[in-house]
Amino acid sequence: MQDSIRVSSALISVFDKKGLDPIVEKLYQLGVTIYSTGGTADYIDSLGVEVIRVESITDYPSILGGRVKTLHPKVFGGILNRRNHTSDQEELSTYEIPSIDLVIVDLYPFEETVAGGGTEQEIIEKIDIGGIALIRAAAKNHADVVCVASKSEYKLLSSLLSDQNGAFTLEQRKYFAKHSFNVSSHYDSAIFNYFDNGSSSLKLSIQKGHQLRYGENPHQEGYFFGDLEQLFDKLNGKELSYNNLLDIDAALNLMEAHEETDPTFAILKHNNACGLATRNTLSDAYDAALAVDPISAFGGILIANRPIDIETARQIHDLFCEVVIAPSFDEKALTLLKNKKNRILLAQKTNTHTVKLVRSCLNGYLVQEKDQVIDHEQMLQTATATKPSADQVEDMLFASNICKNTKSNTIVLAKGLQLLASGTGQTSRVDALKQAIKKAETFGFDLDGAVMASDAFFPFPDCVEIAHKAGIKAVIQPGGSIKDQQSIDYCNANQMIMVMTGVRHFKH
């Protein structure tokens, strides 16, 4: 296997011609023989560069409406022949097959056609056959061939052609081969996922990714694969960390239920809400959210469902926080908040989330649909003799949404569209309730008239008994326990209200 080879011939077959000009010019200057097909050949010819059409060496024209152009032994023999095998070279001579040292391919835009809402026939026609075959052949034979499989590598290719006078080291050819197989495997995964309808196969392929400063802790490596620019405009601040990203994901999930509500502000810490409130103005919502737990808010993630105005920005500026997320920032608000150079400011473009959740487990992966149910009034079944008022219904749904987005076991207490306290991640529901009551009392909240939400059913009536003694008047829960009636009976005996949603919201 040669360490360095010099390119003397190239096959170019691309869908998108953008960025091709300087490469073609450089190949021409180096005296490289260029082969091409169809529209690519026409384009190269328009540049005034000599090009040999593939049809002239295969003696076959492009057929079947362009579906078959390069699929021919004289093309693939030219790519796959081993330069150090005498028998291969003899066969090339016998069958008059030209050797090809460089293959440049840009595949049909399958994913873009799907994303653009193309018809089924348009999508099928964008499944590249010849291009994928060329990539695999050239990358496989990287010992003797350079394979460039996407426009993202044009800049590097052009630089190497200029700096090395058309020569490529084995290390460089392996790099291009690795990238080429990444392109082809991603392309095939996208096609499979288009046809797949919830099968038992899992194929994930994400091209955009970068290494984070570290993982959950400084001694762990961390990476993010995805396109954050699709979701946000980053207006200020340091690089997002692994923990920042987890908190931001939790914040967006929490705020989904408030996209159409009055001004709402949330503060999160370690993926859980430590403050949330809805008010007539955003600044009032921030004040109420911060009051829930001003200690935990330190170093938290802030999110609003309305643009950040200067009044709210002044309040935020007094708090040390990692990230602020909002649909937008008023000019004066942005200027003020950018005074702290490390504070991350994200203008949210969309709340589009993946609908499939994947996490590693044991020696494999767990996959599930995202919990997209947002509890609403039509779901509620009143289980007690006393029915809730409109304000109580509003508070219960407000609290239930927080439950859905809080680590189980959880109990959430709320009143007047303000989170009062929550018990999070406890091994028993009773402990979660006791934690919430204690926390609410610590920060001076009066629980008289408050509502309680639970992420799952009450196996015993103990929680409603404790809640009643604390002053809580209404309870929302999924129901489904064989002992539901005991909790209902206690509520009826003590003029409490209980409604059931029929939907559990565990979060582990």
> How does pLDDT run across 127-168, given as a tens digit for each residue?
999 999 999 999 999 999 999 999 999 999 999 999 999 999
C-alpha–C-alpha distance, residues 184 and 135, integer Å? 7
Three-state SS for 396-461 is HHHHHHHHHCCCCCCEEEECCCEEEEEECCCCCHHHHHHHHHHHHHHCCCCCCCCEEEECCCCCCC
Q: Is 238 left (phi over 0), alpha (psi -120 to 50) or beta?
A: beta
Instruction: Spot the catalytic one: 140, 151, 317, 353.
Output: 140
178 among known catalytic residues: no
Q: What is the pLDDT of residue 21?
A: 94
Which tens digits make up the pLDDT trace of 188-245?
A: 999 999 998 777 788 888 888 889 999 999 999 999 999 899 899 999 999 999 999 9
Residue 282 confidence (pLDDT) above 80: yes
Q: What is the pLDDT of residue 386?
A: 96
Q: What separation, in Å, do the N-terminal and C-terminal C-alpha atoms of the chain show?
A: 52
The set of residues, in sequence order, having a beta carbon less than 8 Å from that of 300 and lying 6+ positions away, is: 247, 267, 268, 269, 274, 275, 321, 322
Cβ(341)–Cβ(328) below 8 Å: no
For residue 243, whether the previous peptide bond is cis, meaning omega lies within 30 degrees of 0, is: no
Residue 281 confidence (pLDDT) above 70: yes
Instruction: Spot the catalytic one: 26, 270, 338, 353.
Output: 270
> How much is the mean pLDDT over the chain?
94
Which tens digits make up the pLDDT trace of 65-74?
A: 777 777 788 8
Q: What is the mean pLDDT of residues 379-393?
A: 97
Burial of residue 298, with CB atoms counted within 10 A of its CB: 0-12 exposed, 13-18 middle, 19 or more buried: middle
Cβ burial 14-42 (10 Å sphere, 16+ → b, else e):
beebeebeebbebbbebebbbbbbbebbe
Q: What is the mean pLDDT of residues 332-348?
A: 97
**3-state secondary structure (DSSP) of residue 261:** coil
308: which DSSP letter? B
What token pair was written down for 451? Answer: 């509502």
The set of residues, in sequence order, having a beta carbon less than 8 Å from that of 378 and lying 6+ positions away, is: none
Which tens digits make up the pLDDT trace of 394-444?
A: 999 999 999 999 999 999 999 999 999 999 999 999 999 999 999 999 999
The CA-atom distances, in angstroms, between 271 and each of 2, 296, 334, 407, 434 are 53, 12, 25, 8, 21
210 among known catalytic residues: no
Q: What is the pLDDT of residue 208?
A: 80
Which tens digits make up the pLDDT trace of 254-265?
A: 999 999 999 999
CA nearest 5: which of 28, 32, 29, 24?
32
Strand runs (DSSP E) across 285-343, as ranges?
300-304, 321-326
CA nearest 307: which of 326, 286, 324?
326
- Percent of the chain as helix, strand, coil, to the nearest 5: 40, 20, 40
Which tens digits make up the pLDDT trace of 4-43?
A: 999 999 999 999 999 999 999 999 999 999 999 889 999 9
Q: What is the pLDDT of residue 396?
A: 98
Q: What is the mean pLDDT of residues 298-317?
A: 97
Q: What is the pLDDT of residue 1?
A: 61
The set of residues, in sequence order, having a beta carbon less than 8 Å from that of 402 and lying 6+ positions away, is: 254, 273, 276, 412, 414, 419, 422, 453
Cβ burial 439-449 (10 Å sphere, 16+ → b, else e):
bbeeeebebee
Burial of residue 330, with CB atoms counted within 10 A of its CB: 0-12 exposed, 13-18 middle, 19 or more buried: middle
Residue 502 confidence (pLDDT) above 90: yes
C-alpha–C-alpha distance, residues 294 and 275, integer Å? 8
C-alpha–C-alpha distance, residues 240 and 344, integer Å? 8
329: which DSSP letter? B
**Cβ count near 265 (within 10 Å):** 30
C-alpha–C-alpha distance, residues 303 and 74, integer Å? 60
Question: Please, which pLDDT band fits residue 353 given cuts at 50, 70 and 90?
Answer: confident
